Each structure stands twice: as structure tokens, then as C-alpha cells.
Amino acid sequence: MSVQDILDAESELTHLLGAQQAVVLSTRIRLARNLDGLPFPGWAKVPQRKEIAERCVDALTELPKFRRGHVLRMTELQDRERAVLVERHLVSKELASGKSGAAVISRDQTCSVMINEEDHLRIQVVKAGWHLRGTWHIAEQLDDDLGGRLKMAFSERLGYLTACPTNVGTGLRASAMVHLPGLCLAGHMDKVSRALNQDGLAVRGWLGEGTEAAGNIFQISNQQTLGLSEDAILKHLGGWIKNVVEQEWNARRKLAKDEGERFSDRLARSFGLLRHARLLTSAESMNMLSHLRLACDMGCLPEGHRHIVDRLMIEGQPAHVQVRAGEELDSDGRDCRRATLVREALRDFPEVTAPTA
């Protein structure tokens, strides 16, 4: 199993037709866990990290969820293959740049477990669209299955023990990847971001910590992991996401009403550009694709075309284009391949019309 197989496979986020929703692109649950009695990866010696990796990989590959899945050791991959995994959110930048990290990924790419990142185990589950409870139940089941095979570091008073004090307790980070072009265009995003921050939620860019919000896409997640039950954390995030989705729809409807023809003109221009450009940078395509997704949500383009836009957002990223090409490309080469990928995918799209939503 290789990174090429991951690219070629029909995954949850790229090919699951009908799962895509307006505004919320995906729901993600992450659990931080550590083996009892062994130093955390950042402090462990090389032989200890090897032992940790072996024990974790053995336990994970026994689970039904990872049957016919992928076991990837970071040192055995090329730079651009690791970059593909980061772009797909299957592993973090930190894991990809380390020397003893590994990832075990389920066949449908909904579950991925990072080994020897900041903690021994980072269990991640992702679903397309907004499915907080369903995603949580899969993670909970994985955690139970894994807990039956490995003794986890746990304290009665502090819960699951982690390397960083910001993850101790539940070790739970729940998040939603949201597309907020309405709030961005209306200039309300700073305000929304501040309100979320003040109520214990973090707002980050498309690729997580410290990244720019390309394509008006933001990741919203809980900050606190200790002193709140998993249920309380999920309820708190769930309530806010519902609120943000409502605000986003209000902003979109107001824009469509106030701007009239200008609203669809903006979306149609982006469509025209994507449909005909011969060179497309990553940032430009993300921002134009954001308009296209908005067009699908608003009824300016058929809603059934939304999954194509989502797939292009993932497959148009630099390392994806590079690995697909199978040869070393310079920046123009990548922009050319990206433009071709987008042009071909949009060939059968109809004209952008006035909004109906």
C-alpha cells in the first residue's frame, strides 16, 4: 500500500456522492492517547520510539476498522508523498517532518491514527458534512477497541495523560471545517472569530494551526479538554457551529439580495476563469473554487455538482498535483497541470444562474 493508492482510492472526502453539505465541509474528532509507562515521543530515545511504534502498529492492524488499510512509516516516504498526506489532513506537518512517525489509515480514509506525533497515539476520524455524533461514536469505538489492547496512561484525577497540558483529560479535539464566503465577503469574519475565541473555541485556517484561511475555509475546534465531559465539549461546539451556519446563511442571503446581479456576476466570473485559465496558482484556484461552492449552495449551479468542487479543492493542492504528474514540476508546470485538472472537471458544468436559495 502506498500514497499513490491513497490518491487513487475513492475516499470519504473526495468521492462520497451526496455526503457533501452546504457550509460544513467535514466533521473531525481527534483523541490524544499515550501508552502507560513510556516517555512521550518528544522525550523518548530512538529505541523507545521504535518500541512505541511497533506496539501501536500491531494493535491497530488487528482492528477490523483498519483491515486492508495503510501502514505508512514517514521515513519510507518521499517528501512530496508526505506532503500529500498533510494536504489530505491524514497526518500533521509535525508528524510528516519527524523521523519516527507512522500513520495507520483505514481503507476509506475516514480513520487515521498518527503514531509518535506529540503523543504516542492521535486517533482521528473524519466524515464529510456535519455529523458530530456519528463521527464521535466511531472515535469512541476505536478508543475502546484500542484501550482493550494497549494500557493507556490515565489518572483518576487528570484523565488521559498527554505530553502537552492543553490536551490532558479527555484528549478530545472536536472540529468542523466550515466554508464561510458570506461572512468573509460581508466583512464579519473577524467579529465571528473573536466571539468564538472568547467562548473557548479556536478558529484556524484550512491546514490547521498557523495557516492562512485559503478559500474562505476555517477550522473551528474546542480549546479545553479538561474539566468538561466529552458530551459537554461536543454540545458546546455543536451549538456554536449551528449558530455560525445560521449567520453564514443570513450573510449570504443579504448579499444576494443587496447585490442583485452583481452577486451572480461575481460567481460567474470565477467560473469563467476556472473554466478557461491555462495557469492557475493554488491560492487563486482555492478562492475561485470557494465562489463555485457558494454557487452550488445558492442554486446558481446544480447542488449535485458540489462534490466535484470539493474534490478539486483537495486534488488541486501543490503536492497532489506534483504526485499525480509523476515527475518533478516547476511552479509553472504545477499551475498548468492544476488548470488542466480544473478545466476538465468543469467541462460539463452548466451556466451560472441567479440564486434560488
Partner 1 sequence: MSQPLKCSLCEEAATVHLSQVVHSKVTKVHLCEACAQKGGATDPAVFQLADALTSAVMAAPAITCPKCGFTDIDFRKRGRLGCPSCWEVFGDVLGGLLTKVQHEPEHVGRAPAGILPSGQLRRRLEAARREMEQAVTSEDFEVAARLRDEISALEQQLTPS
Name the site residues for partner 1 (rule: CB under 8 A).
34, 36-40, 42-43, 118, 140, 143-144, 147-148, 151-161, 163-166, 168-170, 172, 197, 200, 202, 204, 209-210, 223-230
Q: How far is the CB of 137 from partner 1 (least distance, A)?
A: 13
User: Is the CB of 93 or the CB of 343 nearer to partner 1?
Assistant: 93
Instruction: Tell me the β-bridge partners of 113.
Output: 104, 123
Residue number with CB closer to partner 1 (87 or 230): 230
Write the CA distances from 332 to 181, 277, 322, integer angstroms: 28, 13, 12
Q: Among residues 183 and 321, whose Cβ is nearest to partner 1?
A: 183
Smallest distance from the beta carbon of 235 to partner 1, in angstroms? 13
CB of 323 to partner 1, least distance (A): 26
Nearer to partner 1, 19 or 38 (CB): 38
Say if CB 297 and CB 303 are below 8 A apart. yes
Output the CA torsion sign for 134, 137, 143, 144: negative
Q: Which is nearer to partner 1, 126 or 234 (CB)?
A: 234
**Quick one: angle between helices 189-198 and 230-259, nearest 10?**
170
CB of 35 to partner 1, least distance (A): 8
Regarding beta strands 70-73 and 217-222, do their DSSP bridges make them parallel or antiparallel, or are they unpaired?
unpaired
- Record the cell numbers describing residue 143, joined without a space: 478508543
CB of 31 to partner 1, least distance (A): 9
DSSP class per residue in 91-139: S-HHHHHSSS-EEEE-TTSSEEEEESSSSSEEEEEEEESS-HHHHHHHH
Q: Which CB, 137 or 269, lies closer to partner 1?
A: 137
CB of 105 to partner 1, least distance (A): 24
